[in-house]
Amino acid sequence: MTKRVGILYFSPTSSTRSICSAISSGMGVEEPQFFNMTIPELRTDLIANAGADLNMMDHLIIGSPVYSGKLPSQVIDCIKAIGGKRTKCSAVVVYGNRDYGIALHNMVDLLSQNGFEVVGAGAFIGQHSYSDLVPVAMGRPDKSDIELAQAFGKKCAGTLNRLDLNKIPVQMDRFAKSEKYSAIKPSYLEKRCLQCGKCTKACPLGLILFETGIVMTQKSEKQCIGCMACVQHCKPKARTLKTNPFVKVIMKGILKEALQNRKEPLMIFG
């Protein structure tokens, strides 16, 4: 019988989802069951049924992007609320070639404390969400990343031993230390908006009004996590990543190293 493999993921701009799919294909499973934590209604459904379907899986691949060296708070809350039933899993974080901070360590710790048995952990690379500003990790995950993700999947499928948290490295910089998420908010040009509603559907916080395409309130504007899902889904470019020259210079400084040196995936097994 084919192993039942599930993918529980948060992925506003799809690179985490691509990596997790490649991991599943490396496990020999081309049609995994997807459990999407990205969209608010789907997160609510997952929490409401306490992950019942998800805990039926033989193996879960759990994927999240890295935001400011950490896991997005939506992922933390969702995993805590779902909980595992000694469900075997692989912990996956995807970052934009700068660094993965404490995210992978946090993910393994969080899963272990909430009923999951982690047998493998990996930090992979995806095109940086702010690559419209500084072109970091363009086109990633690429062929080599996908092949490595498949190899990771193959090895995870054959591993039974629980992973030791002490094996997971941390990169403790000022972003990982801070509790804040340094996000850049997208800008909106109303005259270009076709009111197609794609950004509304893509927003992981449900902050955009369907009828007009505008962000609901000033409070919602503050809640925006700057994930760029709306920018990626906006064909007429009503939503773009534009900043003032000062922020651009700062971002170039932060991402300078990431722009020059290609990082490779990290994979650890139990």
Ligand X SMILES: Cc1cc2nc3c(=O)[nH]c(=O)nc-3n(C[C@H](O)[C@H](O)[C@H](O)COP(=O)(O)O)c2cc1C
Residue 142 CB partners (closer than 8 Å, separation 6+): none
Amino acid occupying residue 241? L
In whole angstroms, the minimum distance from the beta carbon of 184 to ligand X comes to: 7
Hey, how many other C-beta atoms are within 10 angstroms of the C-beta on 179? 7
- Cβ atoms of 54 and 83 closer than 8 Å: no
**Mutual orientation of helices 73-82 and 40-48 as an angle, nearest 10°?**
20
- Of 41-49, 96-104, 109-117, 233-241, which part binds ligand X (CB under 6 A)? 96-104
Cβ proximity to ligand X, 227 vs 268, nearer residue: 227
Instruction: Provide the β-strand partners of residue 215.
Output: 208
CB closer to ligand X, 99 vs 117: 99
CB of 101 to ligand X, least distance (A): 6
Nearer residue to ligand X within complex by CB, 12 or 51: 12
CB burial of 19-33 (b: ≥16 within 10 Å; e: otherwise) equals bbbbbbbbbebeebb
Binding pattern to ligand X, positions 214-243, x when CB under 6 A? ------------xxx---------------
Among 7, 15, 110, 120, which residue interacts with ligand X (rule: CB under 6 A)? 15
- Given 134, 151, 183, 214, the residue binding ligand X (CB under 6 A): 183
Q: What residues line the site for ligand X (CB under 6 A)?
A: 11-16, 65-69, 94-99, 101, 126-129, 175, 181, 183, 226-228
